Amino acid sequence: MTEKLDLIVRNGTLVIPGVGQVKADVGIAGGGIAVIGEGLTQSAAEIYDAAGLTVLPGIFDPHIHIGNEQSFESEAETETRAAILGGVTTVGIFLRSLEDSYFQHLPAFCRAMNERSYVDSVFHPQIFTEQQIEEIPGYAEQFGIRSFKFYMSGIPGIVKSVNDDVLLHGFRTVASLGQDAVACVHCETGALIDRARNELKLRKPEGTLADWEHAHPAVAEALAIQTALYLAKIAGAHLYVVHLSSRDGLEVVRAGRRAGMRFTVETTTPYLGINSSDPNGFLAKMVPHVRTQEHQVALWDGILEGAINTVGTDNTSRALATKKPEAGLHGSRPGLPALGTHLPALLHYGRMRGVPLEILIERATRSPARVYGIYPRKGTIAVGSDADLVVVDLDQERTVRAHDLQGMSDFSPFEGKRLRGWPVATIKGGKIVARDGKIIAEPSGRYLPRKRESAQQFEWFTK
């Protein structure tokens, strides 16, 4: 082969989901992976020497929110800057429109992600109204959207919950798009949460981060997963449980899998890395809650055994001024930035618990890419895939400082923690976009419309 390449990533150890660790060079041309092999001899405009380093597929964080603090347009730039520096090259964004039709907003959302984002993106609109449900086929047809989210429990001041009838109607509509379409659900039983939160306010007007768990009892998560599984089965919909946080929830997941139910389960790196006695306190306040060590151990077991299929962040960036940790348990706001720490936290805590690197990377790349219909374009290192790669120094140790993460937030829930395993370069669309903690290229992110996939192409998780 004499074709001239744009870039060769040489001498690295590749982690290829489903294949394993392979020592090979990656040759890149026209934004895609053109050739993989030992000692590539083609000429290239640029060489990146990854000797002693590990090369991963670009990380796909399937669960982020942007535009909750500043405008969607502004956060499309600032939060994806933190993402790309941290090795995340594609994100799934939960869009929010409490009342309006998404037709009014989708053109602007697409434009922001095409013009200002450093990473590629897919959208998951959050569904609140009957009109939005009726328009689901239109969102699929006109904007290539194949995943939608429903809240069984609202978050006061942010989103409202939907009832079981809306859930069932919504699931049926999503299922009508085809087997590959996904119904994402925030699984907490709203009535139990409302009561628990009110009781906690009376009982503990001050409270600590650990007390927050009483406002979001694990039983509410477990019960909601059971309900969602049942409704999804009736509707024939692919249920995707977002941000599983508890051991109790995991037990319901396991029972569902034993019963042969087909669904997907996600957890987040804040749950995997931070527990409710963390010294960073209310900086780690989120919904659902970071829980006790016991729940955390269960989540890692779920990752290892495959009951938990994907890992995201639930990134909802805030600034300290609105997070207000000083306002205490009930006054501080939920939501935290987590994109910049996603991969280092996964590598650090995962390896600490003995989870093989291949499993960690599978859950953060190929697995979500398959669920959301962008595999094998994303989520692997293969000829023909997009050249989205992250070069990692597995031995590099750094202390997390919000400033270094370069998002909009002036805090990190991982602030002050020493993590081992950091990206040293991120390649997106064949270009080195971030290197040694600096952004070195302009934003080149694209919104990715999705097409219907045939049932054969789509494989369910059965574990």
Report the interface residues with Zn ion, using CB under 5 A. 314
Nearer to Zn ion, 132 or 267 (CB): 267
Nearer to Zn ion, 79 or 314 (CB): 314
Query: Residue 19 CB, nearest distance to Zn ion (Å)?
Result: 31
Smallest gap from residue 314 Cβ to Zn ion (A): 4
Minimum Å distance from CB 31 to Zn ion?
Answer: 30
Residue placing its CB nearer to Zn ion in the complex, 288 or 421: 288
Nearer to Zn ion, 184 or 405 (CB): 184
**Alpha carbons 434 and 82: distance in angstroms, whole number:** 10
Of 13 and 147, nearer to Zn ion (C-beta) is 147
Which position's Cβ is nearest Zn ion?
314
Least distance in angstroms from the C-beta of 156 to Zn ion? 15
CB of 63 to Zn ion, least distance (A): 6
Query: In terms of CB distance, is 312 or 423 closer to Zn ion?
Result: 312
Name the nearest CA neighbour of 167 among 257, 219, 216, 229. 229
Class of residue 326 by CB neighbours under 10 A (exposed 0-12, middle 13-18, buried 19+): exposed
CA dihedral in degrees (92, 98, 103, 108; nearest 10)?
-60
Helix (H, G, I), strand (E, B) or coil at 381: coil
The three-class DSSP label of residue 427 is strand
User: Which residues, in sequence order, are CB contacts of 112 under 8 Å at separation 6+?
Assistant: 72, 73, 76
| Beta-strand runs (E) in 215-316 | 238-241, 263-268, 310-312, 315-316
Residue 137, preceding peptide bond in cis (omega within 30° of 0): no
CB of 123 to Zn ion, least distance (A): 14
Q: Provide, rounded to whole angstroms, the least separation between the CB of residue 159 and Zn ion.
A: 9
Q: Pairing state of beta strands 147-151 and 120-125?
A: unpaired
Hey, which bits of 282-428 come out as E strands? 310-312, 315-316, 389-399, 418-428
Q: How far is the CB of 96 from Zn ion (least distance, A)?
A: 10
140: which DSSP letter? H
- Of 148 and 422, the one with the shorter C-beta distance to Zn ion is 148
Alpha-carbon torsion 119, 174, 179, 222, what sign? positive
The encoded tokens of residue 243 equal 């941000």
Within 135-177, where are the H helices? 136-143, 164-175
Report the alpha-carbon distance of residue 438 to residue 404 in Å, rounded.
9
Helix axes 164-175, 136-143, angle to 10 degrees: 40
Q: Which is nearer to Zn ion, 336 or 381 (CB)?
A: 336
Establish whether the linkage from the previous residue to 288 is cis, with ω within 30° of 0.
yes
Least Cβ distance, residue 74 to Zn ion (angstroms): 19
CA 3, CA 43: separation in Å to the nearest integer?
Answer: 8
> In angstroms, what is the minimal distance from the CB of 158 to Zn ion?
10
Judged by beta carbon, residue 314 or residue 386, the one nearer Zn ion is 314
Structure token digits, residue 310: 């994907």
For residues 259 and 370, what is the distance between their CA atoms, to the nearest angstrom? 23
> 188 or 314, CB closer to Zn ion?
314
